């Protein structure tokens, strides 16, 4: 799905003889891609299952493939305790661990990755969020008349500056900050660019993020036109917070964050 309603359609009409044209496509060296946004949906539970996806991309047309890491761990810097993640299924690129929840929500967490002999690191602090007060389907449309409207209401937390990341399912994202509604209820409409089939279940989430992650996601959303999630290769490279300590020029794509998340589901009604 595309988040932006406007699209550019380029129509090539060929007349007469056709010449073979050689096109140079971008060829990059392999680059690590890390999906490490930890969604904390129950901070009262004693332990949290953490899952991080590691992959690698090597060229403009290549698919992203799982990355075999030498090691990956998360350290709570205050308690100086480290938990190693292990690959769930060999060759999957998905690494998991069971970590005490308090080590993720208290203090600073450091992600450390050893990939092909190079050390990557990122640090994150838990960011709280707020529940979704109401989620319902609307009847308004935009330009084509076939869009599906979802109306979301939440109440911003008082006495703090908040940044939010909204996950509207289907790799569609939106960011917001509480500059114009601090501590107040806020309602807005989100439009899917097509009419969703009746009975489609939408799982919509609100994540608390810091300003740096907010700015990162804002860039990714603009460059990808909503077609890609935050950890797929965007149209132009957007650097996250994962730093290659061994070789800074060989940076990783993706982001490490620890975010509280609240989710609500909505079933699309008959038209």
Residue 67 lies in a domain: yes
> At 204, which helix (H) or strand (E)?
strand 201-209
Q: Which domain holds residue 57?
A: 31-128+236-260
**Cβ within 8 Å of residue 143, ≥6 positions away:** 5, 6
Would you mind telling me the total number of residues written for the chain in this entry?
271
Residue 102 lies in a domain: yes
Residue 39 lies in a domain: yes
Residue 56 lies in a domain: yes
Find, among 74, 56, 76, the residue nearest to 65 by Cα.
56
DSSP-derived secondary structure for 138-194: -----SSS--EEEEEEEEPPSSS--EEEEE-STT-EEEEEGGGSTTSEEEEEEEESS
Query: Residue 229 in 3-state DSSP?
Result: coil
Q: Given this model, what pLDDT does residue 63 score?
A: 65
Q: Given this model, what pLDDT does residue 225 score?
A: 62
**Cβ within 8 Å of residue 98, ≥6 positions away:** 47, 48, 49, 50, 83
CA 178 centroid distance within chain: 20
What is the domain-level CATH number for residue 249?
2.60.40
Q: Are 2 and 142 a contacting pair, CB within 8 Å? A: no
Q: Given this model, what pLDDT does residue 223 score?
A: 83
Rounded distance between C-alpha atoms, residue 29 and residue 254, angstroms: 16
Residue 123 lies in a domain: yes
Q: Are 36 and 255 a contacting pair, CB within 8 Å? A: yes
Q: Given this model, what pLDDT does residue 51 score?
A: 97
Residue 218 lies in a domain: no
Per-residue pLDDT 10s for the chain (271 aa) are 444 333 333 333 333 444 443 434 444 678 899 999 999 999 999 999 999 999 998 654 456 799 999 999 999 999 999 999 999 899 999 999 999 999 999 999 999 999 999 999 999 999 999 999 999 999 998 877 789 999 999 999 999 999 999 999 999 999 999 999 999 999 999 999 888 999 999 999 999 999 999 999 999 988 876 444 554 544 457 889 999 999 999 999 999 999 999 999 999 997 6
pTM value?
A: 0.85
Taking CA atoms, 83 is separated from 49, 54, 70, 79, 190, in Å, by: 12, 17, 15, 12, 39
Q: Given this model, what pLDDT does residue 27 score?
A: 47
Number of domain units in the chain: 1
Residue 215 lies in a domain: no
Residue 59 lies in a domain: yes
């Amino acid at each position: 799905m595309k988040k932006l309603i406007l699209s550019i359609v380029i129509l090539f009409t060929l007349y007469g003889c056709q010449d073979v044209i050689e096109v140079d496509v971008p060829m990059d060296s392999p680059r690590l891609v890390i999906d490490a946004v930890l969604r904390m949906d129950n901070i009262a539970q004693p332990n949290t299952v953490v899952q991080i996806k590691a992959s690698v991309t090597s060229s403009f047309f290549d698919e992203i493939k799982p990355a075999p890491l030498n090691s990956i761990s998360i350290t709570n810097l205050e308690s100086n305790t480290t938990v190693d993640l292990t690959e769930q299924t060999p060759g999957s690129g998905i690494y998991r661990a069971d970590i005490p929840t308090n080590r993720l929500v208290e203090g600073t967490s450091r992600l450390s990755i050893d990939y092909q002999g190079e050390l990557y690191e990122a640090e994150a602090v838990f960011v709280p969020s707020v529940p979704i007060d109401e989620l319902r389907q609307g009847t308004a449309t935009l330009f084509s008349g076939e869009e599906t409207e979802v109306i979301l209401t939440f109440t911003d937390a008082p006495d703090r500056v908040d940044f939010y990341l909204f996950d509207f399912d289907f790799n569609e994202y939106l960011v917001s900050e509480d500059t114009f509604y601090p501590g107040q209820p806020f309602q807005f409409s989100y439009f899917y660019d097509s009419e969703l089939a009746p009975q489609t279940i939408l799982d919509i989430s609100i994540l608390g993020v810091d300003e740096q992650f907010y700015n990162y996601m804002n860039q990714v959303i603009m460059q990808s036109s909503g077609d890609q999630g935050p950890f797929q290769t965007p149209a132009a490279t957007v650097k996250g917070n994962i730093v290659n300590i061994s070789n800074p020029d060989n940076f990783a794509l993706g982001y490490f964050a620890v975010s509280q998340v609240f989710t609500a589901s909505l079933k699309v009604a008959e038209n």
